[in-house]
Structure formats: C-alpha cells, structure tokens
Structure 1
Amino acid sequence: MTVKTDNYLMCINGEWVGDELGTLNVTNPANGEIVGTVPNGGEKEADLAVAAAHDAFASWSELTAHDRAGYLQKLNQLMLEHQEELAQIMTIEMGKPIKESRGEVNYAASFIEWFAEEGKRIYGETIPTHKDGKRLQVWKKPVGVVAAITPWNFPAAMLTRKMGPALAAGCTVVMKPSGESPLTAVKLMELCEKAGFPKGVVNLVTGSSSKIAGAIMANDKVRKITFTGSTEVGKVLIRQSADQVKNLSLELGGHAPLVVLDDADVDLAVKGAVASKFRNAGQTCICANRIYVQEGVYDAFNDKLAKAVEALKVGDGTDETVDVGPLINQDGLDKVSRHMQDAVSKGANVVTGGEPVTDGKGVFYQPTVVKDVDESMVVMQEETFGPVAPVQKITSDEEAAKLANDTPYGLAAYVFTENVARGTKLIEKLDFGIVGWNDGAPSAPQVPFGGMKESGIGREGGHEGIDAFIESQYVSIGME
C-alpha cells in the first residue's frame, strides 16, 4: 500500500494546526530518506493544548463510564481496520520490521479495548461507620488533565497504554510523541477524530521535547504526567514536578537479566532469548541485556543461540522476510559499537556478528552473540539498546540472583528452569517488576507493567493501570 510522505499537522481542540510553524523531518533509518515532516511546536502550542484539554474536562468527566467506553470501542475498531496503514507508517518512520509493526498495532488496540471495559469497573466504597449518625464513603474521581510523553520505539502502544486508561477514567489528554517517530501518533489522532471524541478531549502536539515538556510541567492545569523514556529524563521530570506536586507515572530504563539454569530446556531458552533480545533490533526497555547461563549448559546454549541468530535476516523493515531492522539513528549505532569494542578489548569472544552493516545507507548492526563476558564490561553495566546478546557463565542460583540484582534498574527479568522450586526461590530474590519464567514475551494488556528501583513509579496495564488516573475522595456524611 502507499503511505503518504508529506507534511503532517498536530491537533489542538479538534483543529489541525501548525502549518505556519517550522518543521521537523522524520527520517527512515533503513535508508536515510525523509518520510514526512511535523510542526516544530513549542511552549505556545503546549499551552493551547492544555487549555483545550482543561476546557473539555468537565463535560468529558461527567459522561457515564459506558458512554466513554463507546468512544474507546470505536477507536479500537478503527485501529484494527487501519492496521496495515498504521503498521506501514510505523515501519518507515522508525524501522521496525513490518511483521512486528502489525503486531504492535494489535497490541496497542488491545489497551484501548481493555480499558474501555475497565473504566466501567471503577468502584467506590461504603465503609462501616464508627458512630451513629454517620455514613462513610469513598468516591472515585478522574485526576484531571493528563500529559502523555512517549518514546520512539513503540509509537502506538506506548500512547494507547496511557491514553486508554486516562480517557476511560474521565481524564482529558495531551499527547507528546517522540520527534523520531511522531507520524504514527498523527494517524492515531486522526482515528480519534473519526471515532468522534469531542473537541479538546484528545490533543496532539509535536516539536521540541524540552520546550513542550517544560511548558507542560510549568502549567498548573496539568495534574498528571505519564512518561516512558530514560531514567535520566525521568529524574528531571521528578524535579520539575516538585513545585506543583504533580502526579507522576514513570516507566523508565531497564537492564534486563536473562538467567538460564542447568536444568532448563535449552531450546526453549534460546527461543525465549531470541524473542526477547532481537525484537525491534534490541531496542526495547524489557529486552534481555545480560544473559547468565549456568556452566552445565553454557556451551550448548551459546552454540544453539548463535545458530538461531545467524538465521535472522537483517534489512529494511518493509521487506516481509526481514527479522531485524535498523537502529533508530547513528547515535544508537555508535553506542552499540562502543559497547562491543569495550567487551572485545577486555577479553570477550564474538560467537557471531559483532560489526555494523556497512553496505547501504541505513544504520544497521549485525545480530550478535558474544560470550566470556563479565561485569567489568560496559555491555553488562549499561543498557545497550541494540541487537547484541552478551553471555556470561555462572555457577549457581545464588550467583545468578546476585548478578541479576547488581543494577540500579528493576524493570524486567527472565528465568529459564524446569524446576518449580528453583524457579520460585530465584524469582523471589529478584528485584524486578516483570519476570518471564520460561517466557521471553511476557507483555499483555491485562497485566501490570512497570519496574522497581530506578526503573520507574507506578504500573501500566491490568486493573492497576487505571488507578494512576483516579483520585480517591473520602466523604463523611452526617445523617442526624
């Protein structure tokens, strides 16, 4: 199908605006071609979007949960009907293989579907009174205007995982997508319009991240910030939120360990490692960044992992047969190269891959397995965000837990063992918000997604996902 590659606009209060502003180019990392432009908005546009959301809040929040669900159900239907267009846009703007892009559209729509129903289950409470003549109740109210700031690597799902519960709860939303991949968000905004959302309920601003985020953080009409991105930026938002005590949900960096014990099904562990590590070219917050394999299966695991990785096809994501697309930009490629150079200089051995792909205009790195790594290497200390699987030998369950937890991050971890007792005991020691046990793909709309330690605050998805957008109001009623 043909995807338009012209000038896109942003949407504020039901109007498509920004054609008078300067533009930002959106580049396909597979070939370096410009695939579209978006307005380079700033403080003024952010304030206008917040004002529109604030004005729309009263009427939107007063709708019944069933009425709000109707809008979300229509949006879910439209996303599925436009799956191919959304997927094609996603692939050309950030490189994700088209098979994965289609999967992300389904995943993104599932959050809209889930929270359309979950919004009907926001229950208050009646509490037994402590004295005659009183009735004690807890009412649930939407928190207010929500600003959703999202990253480039999942341009559909990261938005719907935030806007779905916010809208279902009765909040209004200002969306700020990444400048690297804003075109998917523009298409989602078009579908919101087709779904009939009233003006101002959903708004989209594009442009300077620092200027727009600064204006959002300074605007007292914004009561909730929901952000997915780096821990460094998350810490800045925490500091900026202090003056107004803004409500924050933060899904931040990860550095996921994957542990393979000696009683694991090695074939299953390899399958899980490939699914986790090489999805989106390793550019996910929950992908396996550190692989710890017990010595009894170390050699067999490396051999089988290398064969599986060598079978992966690298290339332009629009090719139906491609498994691994490009990195998002040259900085991403340079980081992967630095990590690999450091590892090799300190004694690691490349099993397969280990080099950038230099033929062509895109920013590609070979899917890589590197063994004999240790904790002195940068690849085991920092999130690589690329298609590199570093494998370290371990001797015991205790060592696995110690090394896995030796990080300030606590988003996701993976454990492969066929022994229920060993798996249970090991997972109980792991300080991670998400654990895949014999499972390399644990994400789903009905489960809580989020991390411990410096990996964030709060949970998205599941019944917990809507709590972040609700305030509890205690009401004591005198009946005498």
Structure 2
Amino acid sequence: MADIYQIGSLIAGKEVTQGGRDTRPVLNPATGETIGMLSLARLEDIDAAAEMAQKGFQQWSALSAFERARCLQAVAVQVRADIELMASLLTAEQGKTLNEARGEVAGSADLFEWLAEEGKRLYGRMVPSRNAAMQQMVQLEPVGPVAAFSPWNYPLALAARKIAHALAAGCSVVIKPAEESPSAVLHLARICIRCGVPAEAIQVLFGVPAMVSERLIASRHIRKVSFTGSVAVGRHLAALAGQALKKVTFELGGHSAVIVMDDADVERAAQLSVASKFRNAGQICIAPSRFFVHDAVHDRFVAEFVRMSQKLSVGDGAKTGTDMGPLAHLRRTEAMQVFTQDAVETGARIAVGAPDRPTRAGFFWAPTVLTDVPDHARLMREEVFGPIAPMVRFNDLDAVIARANDVDFGLAGYAFTSSLKNARNIQDRLKVGMVGINSFSVTAPEMPFAGIKDSGLGVAQGLEGLLDHMNVKSVYRAD
C-alpha cells in the first residue's frame, strides 16, 4: 500500500496540518482503504480564513478587470497542463473513471477561460435623466468575500465554478470543498495563487461541515454564500444567511424527468440516456432519473437501454476499460438498496441490476433498470443520486408533463422527439431551470445554471451567475 498522505486547509497560501488538529481519513471508494489523512480546521482557522478573505478582497478588487482576466486565463492554461495529475486525484478520492475525471478537469479549465473574458464585460449603464443637469448611472461592484460550499460528486468542477465566478466578479472566496475528496481543489487553489491571485483572496477550509458553515456565514467579513448540496442542508444554510442578510446562490437537488415520445429516434435516445444516467455512477444533480416512455416505443427503448447497460464494465475507475466506477460512499450503496427494495415491494420489476448489496470490496452498485415503477415509489418522489433507472409507460403528453412536474424539484428536464410542436410544448411547460431536447448537455459555461422550487435559489453560472456576485449602485450626479 502507498504511503498515506497528510493534507489540510490552505489559509493565506499556507497549508495547515499541525498543532494537534482533529483528522479524518480520505478513502478510495474502489477499495474502501484509507489513502490520506485530512486535518480539520479549528474555529480560529475559520476566523483567520474569513479575515484573510477580507484582506484579499481589497487587493483583488483593486485590480482592473483586465488584470484579473490575465490571472484567470493563466489558471486555465495551467489546469490543462496538469490534467493527468488532477484527474488521478479525482479518481483516487471520488471513484469516477479517469476519462470522466479528465473531462471534469477540462471543463473546469473551460470555465476559468470563459469567465476570464466575461469578467471584463460586467458593464454598468447610463440612464437618460429627466433633468438635463443630472447624470444617472448604474454601477456594478463586487459584493465582497464569498463563503462557498461544494460537494463530493464533482469535487473539482463545482468548486471551480464557485471560485472562478467569485474571482471573475472581483470577489475573494473561502471555499469549503467536500472532505471526502479534497486534493484536486487544493491543487487548483495553489494554481490560482501561482498565477497571480493573491494568497489572501482564496482560502480552502476543511472541517466539520456544520461548524465551518455556521462560523463562516456569521462572520462580518463574508457578504455572500454559495452552496451546492442537499435540500435539507440548503434550507438550514439559507436560514443562517437570511438571518445575517447575505446574498445567496444555492444549487440543490434534482429529479430530472426524461420524456421519450413515440416519434423519437429510439436507439439514439437510449444510447444517450445510458451514457448520461450512469455517468459518474449516477451521482449528478442533473442526471436523468425518471424515464417516461411512450407506450408505442416503450418495450423497444427499454430493451435497448437494458442491452447497453449490461455492456457497461463496473470497476476501479483507475483501471483501463472501466465504464462506471464505484459510488463515493458506503452510505450511497445502502441508499440504493433501500430505493430498489422499496420499488420492488410497490410493484416494480428488476430488468437488470443487483437487488442485493454487492459483496466485493469498495462501494459498488451495478447499473440497475426497473420497469413498471409506480408513481408512489420512493425513487419516483425522492432524488436517487445513483445508478438506478426507473421506466414508466405513458400515452398522453399533457398528462405525463403534469406527472413530470409533480415533484418538489425543478432543476433539469429532458425530452426526445422529432416533432417541433412536441419540443415546444415540452420545453415551455416543464417546470425546471434547464431543458435539454434530444440532448443531455445543459452545463455550457456561458449558459445560466439554475433551479426552481426546491432545486435552488439564484443562478450559478453564465453572465447571470456573475451578476449574482455584484452589488448594484445607482449614481445621480448633478452639475
């Protein structure tokens, strides 16, 4: 076994691992073995990070947008140069395949590159005045230090989204990544500092989540809160941020419906659906998670979906030929067991997959397809966040759109059809923040990423995501 590495929080450019701080193990999900030990922040570390972020904000926001853009462009270049290193860190700690990890790293670089340019275009505006002796202007100003909390399913990409948007807007950032998969984000923060971001403008904290979030949000230095995670935690943090009257951007849960019409290209729809459903072992907030398939093509779609699911190789993400890696935690395999058992007990049938907990080492769950799933089954009401695909028949489009909308979530939705009329009907009536028609690609850097209902508050990406990091100032200037 390789030596167990020691890592910790990064405060003002210095890694904090000493001083008798509590630690927690970092596990490899493919083996369940400890590969690292992570030092956890103490209260004084959290306070120091917030104070440093205030100092960093003064330095970073004083630079011109063009100077900040050069730094962010350099970050994008260096991230691409380090793609193999960062991908290996992601695979070792989160479990996804190396190909998926490389895509995550490349996407993070793309995000920095686009935001480097867009940050130069955060224009104010002149507003014609009613009084000839008066000028009226609207100025955009960075809100200040941002407390950001990112999850374990996309450890780098979702942390990079928060870091890059904050920095492009002229804000400093204190990022608390997931303790389960810390190394790639630490590496990104060091790249930012090497590329010219002041060490005080980017802090990385690891610790007991409740302690870190409550302390940071209460800090007088923090002016905005950005969170990606579960609805339950989001509600709690929203209450804390509301009490402190701080701006928020929350990316919460999803339960994305897929509507496959009778005029769809069935083989292509099944191929894209399998690739999207089982990417990252289904641990994606925008993953397709409820398949509503028109009765006329249901059996053909399910047969093709099952055939391709059976061909997927499940194993260690670091090994060549692996199509799907393990789940990130033991608790995720336990959740899959509960969802599958509940569905079967309510009348669903297992078309392919493992109804019982796997016995091999690591946190694995086979790609699972269930048919005849009733709407009251838990996996039709709750976010599954794993490799289980429920299939449901329908005949009436209006009725199925109503069923698709009949959940508390409103993040993403998808449809496959060759009819422009159907496409327009579905995209206009699905109550979600993002819609993919004949595609599951809904995360382009230049497009807003947002949910409605229990799926979030604010906008996390695109120009709108940058504007969420700004204060608006009206200026009236008389002669």
Work out whether the TM-score is over 0.5. yes
1:78-122 CA-to-partner distances (Å, cap 9, x unmatched) read 110100010000001010111100000001111111110011001
Scaled by the length of structure 2, the TM-score of the pair is: 0.98
- The answer as to whether partners of 2:7 and 2:15 remain within 8 angstroms in 1 is no
Give the stretch that moved more between structures: 348-357 or 321-330. 348-357
Q: Which residue of 1 aligns with 2:347?
A: 347
Is the 8 Å Cα contact of residues 412 and 434 (structure 1) preserved in structure 2?
Answer: yes
Q: Contact (CA 8 Å) 1:356, 1:364: kept in 2 or not?
A: no
Report SS of the residue matched to 2:41: coil
1:51 aligned to 2:51?
yes
Q: Distance in 2 between matches of 1:30 and 1:306?
A: 24
| Alignment match, 2:122 | 122
Q: What is the match of residue 368 of structure 1?
A: 368
Contact 1:435 1:442 in 2 (8 A): yes
Conservation of the 8 A alpha-carbon contact between 2:333 and 2:357: no
2:15 counterpart of 1:16: yes
- The structural deviation recorded for 1:461 is 2.0
1:442 CA displacement? 2.3
C-alpha contact (below 8 Å) 1:250/1:458 kept by paired residues = yes
- Per the alignment, do residues 65 and 5 of structure 1 end up closer, same or farther by CA in structure 2, a change over 3 Å counting? farther
Q: Which shows bigger deviation, 316-325 or 11-20?
A: 11-20
For 1:184 and 1:18, the matched residues in 2 are separated by 17
Give 3-state SS (helix, strand or coil) of 2:5's partner: coil
Give the 3-state SS of the residue equivalent to 1:86 in structure 2. Answer: helix
Q: Deviations over 1:288-313 (max 9, x none)?
A: 11110010001001100000100110
Contact 1:357 1:366 in 2 (8 A): no
Deviates more, 1:110-119 or 1:235-244: 235-244
TM-superposed deviation, 1:5: 4.5
Structure 1 residues 4 and 356: alpha-carbon distance in aligned structure 2, compared to 1, 3 A threshold = farther
The answer (yes or no) to whether the contact 2:341–2:355 under 8 Å persists in 1 is no
> For residue 320 of structure 1, what is the aligned residue in structure 2?
320
**What residue ranges of structure 1 are gaps of 5+ in the alignment?**
none
Question: What secondary structure is seen at the aligned counterpart in 1 of 2:72?
Answer: helix
Q: Which residue of 2 aligns with 1:336?
A: 336
Q: Distance in 2 between matches of 1:14 and 1:100?
A: 29
- The equivalent of 2:249 in structure 1 is 249
Alignment of 1:177-256 (within 5 A): 177-256=177-256
CA distance in 2, matches of 1:3, 1:444: 38
* Count of residues in correspondence between the two structures: 478
Offset, 1:260: 0.4
Partner letter of residue 317 of structure 2? Answer: G
Residue pairs, 1:395-406, within 5 angstroms: 395-406=395-406
> 2:413 maps to which residue?
413
The reply on whether 1:104 has 2:104 as its aligned counterpart is yes
2:145 counterpart of 1:139: no
Deviates more, 1:13-22 or 1:371-380: 13-22
Separation in 1 of the partners of 2:29 and 2:290?
Answer: 26
- C-alpha distance after superposition, 1:396-422 (max 9, x if no partner): 111220110000100011101110111
8 Å CA contact 2:9, 2:40 repeated in 1? no
Structure 1 CA distance, aligned partners of 2:192 and 2:426? Answer: 44
What secondary structure is seen at the aligned counterpart in 2 of 1:27? Answer: strand
Which amino acid letter does the alignment assign opposite residue 364 of structure 2?
Answer: F
What is the deviation of 1:464? 1.3
Give the CA RMSD over aligned residues: 1.4
For residues 215-242 of structure 1, the C-alpha deviation after alignment (integer angstroms, 9 at most, x for no partner) is: 0111121000111001111110111112
What do the CA deviations read for 1:152-199 (whole angstroms, capped 9, x no partner)?
000111011111121111100101001111122111122223223212
SS in structure 1 at match of 2:99: helix
Give how far 1:272 is off. Answer: 2.1
Following superposition of structure 1 onto structure 2, how do residues 442-461 of structure 1 map, counting pairs within 5 Å? 442-461=442-461
Contact 2:313 2:324 in 1 (8 A): yes
How far apart are 1:356 and its partner, in Å?
4.8
Q: Hey, what does 1:31 align to over in structure 2?
A: 31
Structure 2 residue matching 1:389: 3-state secondary structure: strand
What is the letter of the counterpart of residue 61 of structure 2?
A: S
Contact 1:272/1:441, CA 8 A, preserved across alignment: no
Contact 1:354–1:369 at 8 Å: present in 2 too?
no
Kept after mapping to 2: 8 A contact 1:356/1:366: no
Which residue identity does 1:69 align to in structure 2?
A
* Post-superposition offset of 1:3: 9.2
- Give how far 1:62 is off: 1.1
How many Å apart are 1:207 and its aligned residue? 1.3
Q: Is the 8 A contact 1:401 1:429 kept in 2?
A: yes
Contiguous gaps of at least 5 residues in structure 2: none
- Percent of residue pairs identical: 37
Counterpart contact for 1:111–1:461, Cα < 8 Å: no
Give the equivalent residue in structure 1 for 2:73.
Answer: 73
Aligned residues of 1:43 and 1:214 also touching (Cα < 8 A): no
Q: CA deviation at 1:374?
A: 1.4
Q: 1-side partners of 2:272 and 2:431: how far apart?
A: 20
Local SS of the residue matching 1:136 = strand
Letter in 2 for 1:109: A
Kindly provide the amino acid, as one letter, of the partner of residue 18 in structure 1.
Answer: T
